Amino acid sequence: MAGTRTVRSALLAALLLSGTAAMAQTASVELKGGSEVPANDSGASGSGSISVAPDKSVSGRITTTGIEGRVAHIHTGAAGANGPVIVPLAKDGDNAWTVPAGAKLSDEQYAAYVAGTLYVNVHSATHPGGEIRGQLQPK
């Protein structure tokens, strides 16, 4: 009887863990000028979330205020460092940016996402290299 309970408990734990592993990881992000490299004193801001599914497909949306964004991207790079664009975001209205359908991370990019070394930034005419930025910190 005790052995049966142990096996049932182990199976239940395995099912719960496999279900957790199969869920998308979501990262909230807050964008501000002080996080850009180099930092700036922009009063603009942004927020949103980016999710990565188990198959490494990416989805999400960022909204901004106080900025006329020209382009926005997800980049690789730790806080304080710039890096290459890996996912260009699509403009969605005046103050929003979305991850385009079909966007997917490579294994290396996914590892960077989990490590917190991906960031989102929005570029403007005033700050063509990026006006506001936020690191993605998955939960």
State which amino acid sits at residue 69.
Answer: G
The sign of the CA dihedral 133, 83, 60, 136 is negative
Say yes or no to pLDDT of 6 above 60. no
pLDDT of residue 13: 40
Distance, in Å, from the CA atom of 120 to the CA atom of 118, rounded to the nearest integer, reads 7
pLDDT of residue 135: 97
pLDDT tens for 42-99 read: 999 999 999 999 999 999 999 999 999 999 999 999 999 999 999 999 999 999 999 9
Say yes or no to pLDDT of 16 above 90. no
Residues for the chain: how many in total?
139
pLDDT of residue 139: 82
Rg (CA), the chain: 19
pLDDT tens for 86-138 read: 999 999 999 999 999 999 999 999 999 999 999 999 999 999 999 999 999 99
Residues above pLDDT 90, as percent of the chain: 81
pLDDT of residue 20: 41
Q: What pTM did the predictor assign? A: 0.83
Say yes or no to pLDDT of 23 above 90. no
